[in-house]
Structure formats: structure tokens, C-alpha cells
Amino acid sequence: MSAPRIIVGVSGGVDSSVAALLLREAGEVVAGLFMQNWADDGSGECRAEEDRRDAVAVCGRLGIPIHFRDFSREYWDGVFAHFLAEYAAGRTPNPDVLCNREIKFKHFLDAARELGAERIATGHYARLAHAGGRWRLLRAADRGKDQSYFLHQLGQAQLAATLFPLGALPKEQVRRIAREAALPTHAKKDSTGICFIGERDFREFLARYLPARPGEIRDPQGRVLGEHPGVFYFTLGQRAGLQIGGVRGGTAAPWYVVGKDVAGNVLTVDQGHDSPYLMSQALWSEPAHWVAGSPPARRFACAAQTRYRQAAEACEVTVAEDGTLAVRFARPQRAVTPGQSLVLYAGDECLGGAVIAHTDAPLERRLHGEVAA
């Protein structure tokens, strides 16, 4: 049997199932590959075994071979160790971005080539275009499912070897295609969150690796309001889990996390969803990655997202000599969080992005002493 031209990353979900189906129907020589990215930790919460069975069933239904690779060590070294280090430092990382860069478009791509394939394909909702001698990463046609935010760390070599068969399709049509083809995953619920956390309580999971370190909860004026189990269990803008009761002389308005001082072990909170302590108009990043290989200019205007479920916001970007970015938004942004990804867009094109280092939010300015960009 000839080597497959395309290896599809089959995850056991409906999206990768339909990606494989569409390529097979287009006459491509296709095989599937199921990646195990997390070793069983004994909790029984991860859906990996169920997903593996579903991936096998889908490939059986499509009549295509399936291969298996265990990338759990690579995932630990390339994704999870960084995830823990960032939380320990008081930042909020985005492991999905790292997983795409380090696992799905690195180790998976290498494995596919070892099997003789020319390209890989995934069920991501994104589009590709080739013009002017370079590949462009574009938003999916279904804006509600667009995943280009998580793919912004990919480069020219990876995009040249990748297909996104679902990029032009709305999710409803993907479900319909799966149902009409009698794929066993057609009604399967979409996975949410991170596999190694699954449906369990996030704080309980994190506490297994980062033991509790209780400290004070204070308001911005320094008044002690309660005790937290560890600043790294919280993220900016978070409301749940603070367990702050009534405060003498205060109102009944809910409290939100507005600052994290890891060195002092203090969690700062304030009342109001749009507290001024949560607002920032400028941010500074770590060195950026550019899909094209270089920035469009040293200073340019574009749109940006500082989290996945967010409308793109107008901003001006300045690229420093060391590759870091200074970004100033046209209007203040809420809960811009160090450790998360800043992703830049020119219309539908994803230009690239960077990890957020810090912002000009009031409590951040106290820590970093920066002036606005």
C-alpha cells in the first residue's frame, strides 16, 4: 500500500473526523494519526481513552489506516513544565498555543513525514492563502469558531505543510456532514478546556503541582479582607472563589481580582466588573513571533486580541530592537493578563503575536514603574 500523502490528526472529535472525510472524498490518499499527549495520572478524568476509541471507529468507517504516537513526554517538557512555571510566577499561560507550536505542528508533523506523508491536516477552524511568495494565516469563515488565535505561533514552513479542510465551513455544516456520513462522532460534544484538567476543579488540579501558600486578600487601599490559598490559583478579572463576605462600610457589589503580588503573596481585589484597577490602555510583550517571518513595519496600526473570546481591538504596535512589542490600544481594555497571548490581525490575516509581559494597569505600574507607550 502506498504511503499516505496526507496524515490527519484525528482526535476523536467531530471536527477532525470531517476533515479526514473531506480529504478522502477529494481523492487524497489519507491516513489518521492519534496523538496521546497526556500520561494517565490516575484521576480517571481525562477523555483520552474514549477519544482514542472514537478515532479508531472514525478511521474504520472511512476505510483509512490509523497510526498512534505517544507524545506525553514531549508534552510535559514542551508545554506542561512551562504551564506550571508560569502559574508559579503568578502569570496565566495559554497551553493551547504552546501545544500547537510544540506538539501538533512540530512532533506530529515530524511523525507524519516519517510515515511518508507530504502534508498534515487538522480540524482547526482557520484558513490559509498563498500570495506574493508567502503563506498567510487567515481567520475561519465561521468567526464564532475561528481558531487562528491559537495558531499564531506557526511559521512559513509549518503552514506550507498544513491543510485546514474546515476553514470555509460553518460548524453547523460540519455537524451535518458528519451526521449524513454516519460518522460515530457526529453528535459528540465538543471538548472544552485542557485535556489534562478535564472536567475536574481547576484549583484542585493545580494544587497537586503547586501546593497551597495562603496569604492576605486586600483591597487597593491595603485593607485586609480575607485569606487566599495561593495567588497562582487566581487570574485577573476572576470573580469566583474569593469567598469574601460582607465588608463593614462596603456595598454588596461583587469583588474581582485586580492584582497579584507573588513576591508579597498578596491578592488584590476590588468591587465592580469594570474597576479602574482592571483597565489598561498599553501593554508590553515578550519577543514576538511573526507568521511571515518578520513584522510588517517597526511601527504600524492593526487590531489585536488579548484573549480568545474577544472582539479584535484597534491598536498601534511598536517593535523594539529586541523583538518585544509596545502596544497602545485605541480604548482601555479590561483584565489584560500577563502570560496570555496578544495576537495581531490585519483584517482577516493573523500577523503573529507575543506573550503579554505587563501592562499600564494601576497595580502593574506600581510593580514595573512604566510610563504609557
Residue 93 lies inside a defined structural domain of this protein: yes
The arithmetic mean of pLDDT across residues 287-297, rounded, is 98
Of the candidates 238, 273, 308, which is a domain's last residue?
273
Domain identity same for 89 and 224: no
DSSP-derived secondary structure letter, 232: G
The answer to whether 9 and 33 are in contact (CB under 8 A) is yes
Residue 328 lies inside a defined structural domain of this protein: yes
Domain identity same for 99 and 157: yes
Radius of gyration of the chain (CA): 22
Of the candidates 163, 180, 197, which is a domain's last residue?
180
Domain identity same for 304 and 172: no
The answer to whether 10 and 59 are in contact (CB under 8 A) is yes
Residue 202 lies inside a defined structural domain of this protein: no
Q: Provide the pLDDT confidence category of residue 39 given band limits of 50, 70 and 90.
A: confident
Task: Give the pLDDT score at 373.
Answer: 42
Task: Give the pLDDT score at 49.
Answer: 85
pLDDT digits (tens, 9 = 90+) for 339-364: 999 999 999 999 999 999 999 999 98
The answer to whether 181 and 160 are in contact (CB under 8 A) is no
The answer to whether 64 and 99 are in contact (CB under 8 A) is no
pTM: 0.93
User: Structural domain of residue 229, as residue ranges?
Assistant: 213-273
Domain identity same for 50 and 152: yes
Which residues are bridge partners to 316 per DSSP? 301, 328
The total number of structural domains that make up the chain: 3
Task: Give the pLDDT score at 4.
Answer: 85
Task: Give the pLDDT score at 38.
Answer: 84
Q: How many CA atoms, within 13 angstroms, populate the side-chain half-sphere of residue 96?
A: 17
Q: Give CA separation, 226 vs 272, 322, 333, in Å.
A: 18, 42, 28
Residue 34 burial class via C-beta count within 10 angstroms: exposed 0-12, middle 13-18, buried 19 and up: buried
CATH number of the structural domain spanning residue 254: 2.30.30.280
Residue 188 lies inside a defined structural domain of this protein: no
Domain identity same for 159 and 80: yes
The answer to whether 229 and 216 are in contact (CB under 8 A) is no
Q: How many whole angstroms separate alpha carbon 154 and alpha carbon 161?
A: 11
Q: How many whole angstroms separate alpha carbon 312 and alpha carbon 329?
A: 11
Domain identity same for 322 and 294: yes
Of the candidates 158, 180, 202, which is a domain's last residue?
180
Domain identity same for 42 and 129: yes
Domain identity same for 259 and 283: no
Residue 204 lies inside a defined structural domain of this protein: no
Residue 196 lies inside a defined structural domain of this protein: no
Q: Provide the pLDDT confidence category of residue 250 given band limits of 50, 70 and 90.
A: low
Q: Give CA separation, 175 vs 19, 27, 73, 365, in Å.
A: 11, 21, 33, 47
The H or E element containing residue 14 is helix 14-25
CATH number of the structural domain spanning residue 305: 2.40.30.10
The answer to whether 337 and 355 are in contact (CB under 8 A) is no
Domain identity same for 123 and 242: no
Residue 208 lies inside a defined structural domain of this protein: no
The answer to whether 14 and 154 are in contact (CB under 8 A) is no
CATH number of the structural domain spanning residue 128: 3.40.50.620
Question: Catalytic residues, which ones?
Answer: 99, 195
DSSP string spanning 108-177? HHHHHHHTT-SEEE---SEEEEEETTEEEEEE-SSTTT--GGGGTT--HHHHHTEE-TTTTS-HHHHHHH
Residue 74 lies inside a defined structural domain of this protein: yes
Q: How many whole angstroms separate alpha carbon 215 and alpha carbon 208?
A: 18
Q: Which of 40-44, 112-116, 217-221, 309-313 has the lowest mean pLDDT?
A: 40-44
The H or E element containing residue 22 is helix 14-25
Task: Give the pLDDT score at 372.
Answer: 41
The answer to whether 324 and 357 are in contact (CB under 8 A) is yes
C-alpha cell at 326: 509596545
Closest by CA to 66, choosing from 109, 9, 105, 142, is 9
Length of the chain: 373
pLDDT digits (tens, 9 = 90+) for 67-119: 999 999 999 999 999 999 999 999 999 999 999 999 999 999 999 999 999 99
Domain identity same for 47 and 157: yes
Domain identity same for 233 and 250: yes
Domain identity same for 67 and 92: yes
